[in-house]
Amino acid sequence: MSVLALVTAHRENLMIQEVGQRHLVSCVVTVVQRHFPVGRTVHLSSTADNDHAKSVLDAIHSLKIRPVQVTGPNRTSMSPPNIQKISSYIIFTTNVKDITVQVEMLYTRSSWNSLGLFLIVVTIRVPDSEVLAISIIRELWQIGRGYNVVVVVQQDDLFNLYTWFPYSSHDNCAAVKNVVLINQWIMEGEGKFLFEGSLYPCKISSTFHGCTMNLSALMKGGIEDEFYSQYFLTYNLTRNYVNGFPDAVSEFGIFLTCMQILWNRETDMVFGGLPLGLEEFGNAEHIFPYFSAKESWFVPCPKPLSPLQSATHIFSPSVWVAIVVVLFLVTVVSWCLAKQSNDIRSYTTMSSALYNIWAVTVRVPLTGTPTSLRLRLLFFVFVLYCFAISTVFQTFLASALVDPGYENQLISLDEILDSGIEFGYDEYDNFFKIYPQI
C-alpha cells in the first residue's frame, strides 16, 4: 500500500511540474508578444539544457515576426562586427551566480544594449522570490547597467514578476535596494496576468531627486561642461567629477583612461570631444551629437602627367592588352593562311607576317601585297579595325598633348595614410593611426 502511495505522489509531482512548465512558457511567450518590439532581434540565453528554453525558442520561432539569437550549451550565436544592438533579452537562470556568468558574457559583445528589455526567468522554485529578484536585478545593473528588467519567479501556484525603478527618490538612486511586484501570472486554465498594465513602463522621471552621477571629461570647463551644468541643474542631478588625471597626460591618454573607467563602472558618463565610431565605445550608449568640430587636411597638389603617361592613359590596361592580343592573333592567322595558299614569301614566315601586320597598324607600306582571297579579306577587316582604333587614339592623343592632366588627388583619409607622405599633426594623430576607420 505504501509503494502505491509513493508512486501516486510521484506521478502527481510530475503533473504539477508539467503544469508549472507549461504556464511558465505561456507567461514568457505572452510577454514577448505584448512587449518585445516586432522585427527586432531577441537574444535567448541559458547555461544549461532545459525544456523551458527549448519550448520558448520553438514558440518564438513559430511566431515568425522576431529574429532570435541563442547562446547556451554547445550553441553560441556570435555577433558579427557592427551588428545592430539587441532589443530584447530572455535569460534563463537558477541562481545569482549563473546570471552573473551569462550577463558578463553578453556584456563583452558589441551587440550589448543596456537600454534593451530584459526578461529574467528563474526555472526553479525558491523560498523567497523577492530576495532573489533583488539580487538578480542588482547583478544586471552592476555589470551592464540594464534597468528595464523583469524577473519571473514561481511562488506556490503563481509566477511573480518583479522590476525596479532607479532614481525614484533621494534614498533610491543607482543602488538596487528594493523591487516592485509589477504583475502576477495566474496558473488557471490557459493562464493569464492579474493586471493588464505594461511590464516595462517609463522608469526615468523628469527629476533625479538630487542623486549623484559620476562624470569624466576630456576637456573640463568648455562648452560641453557648461551644457551639462545646466542639464544637471534642470533635472536635479548632483555632479561628481572623477577625473584626477595628471597634467602631463595627453588628451589621447585621458580618452583611453576615461573609456577604461567607464568600462569598469567607476564613472557613469564621459564627455568632451569624443570621436564616434571607435571600438572602445562598443558597450557604451551614445547620445545624439549636439556639437561637432571640423578638422581640415592640407595635402600636396597633384603633379602633372608626362606626355608619355598621358598617352598610355588614353586606353585602359585591359584595352591595351586586347590590342596586343588581336595583333598576335591576326599575325598567326595570316601566316597560316599564307602557308596553306602558297602566298608570296612576305607572309610565309612568322617574322615577315608580324612585320606586315605591324606595318598596317602604324600605317606604313607593306613588303608585298597578298595574293590569296582569304588573306586579302583578313587584311581588309584588319585595316578597318586599325582605322577605328587609330582614329580614337589620335583624337584623344591631341587632347593629351595639349593638356596631359594630373595624377590622382588625395581625397580620403585612407589614401593619405597609404601614400607614405610625411605630414604634420597634433595629438589627434593618435586617433587616426589606431582608428583609421573614423
- What was the pLDDT predicted at 390? 81
* In the predicted structure, residue 184 carries a pLDDT above the cut 90: yes
Architecture of domain 2-193: 3-Layer(aba) Sandwich (3.40)
The string of pLDDT tens digits covering residues 237-294 is 998 888 766 666 676 777 778 878 887 778 888 887 776 655 555 567 777 776 666 7
**Domains of the chain, residue spans:** 2-193, 212-281, 307-402
Residue showing cell 509531482: 13
| pLDDT more than 90, % of the chain | 17
pLDDT classification of 8: cutoffs 50, 70, 90: very low
* In the predicted structure, residue 76 carries a pLDDT above the cut 80: no
pLDDT classification of 82: cutoffs 50, 70, 90: very low
CA atoms within 13 A on the CB side of 417: 13
Q: Is 80 exposed, middle or buried (0-12, 13-18, 19+ CB in 10 A)?
A: exposed
33 or 432: which carries more pLDDT confidence? 33
Beta bridge partners of 161: 152, 183
The string of pLDDT tens digits covering residues 88-99 is 999 999 899 999
Instruction: Decide which of 3.30.70, 1.20.80, 1.10.287, 1.20.910 is the CATH code for 307-402.
Output: 1.10.287
Q: How far is CA 239 from CA 61, 203, 215, 218, 380, in A?
A: 46, 21, 7, 15, 89
State the virtual CA torsion across 258, 259, 262, 263 in degrees, nearest 10: -150
pLDDT classification of 9: cutoffs 50, 70, 90: very low
Q: What are phi and psi of 96, to 5 degrees?
A: -70, -40
Beta bridge partners of 158: 155, 186
| Rounded distance between C-alpha atoms, residue 166 and residue 174, angstroms | 6
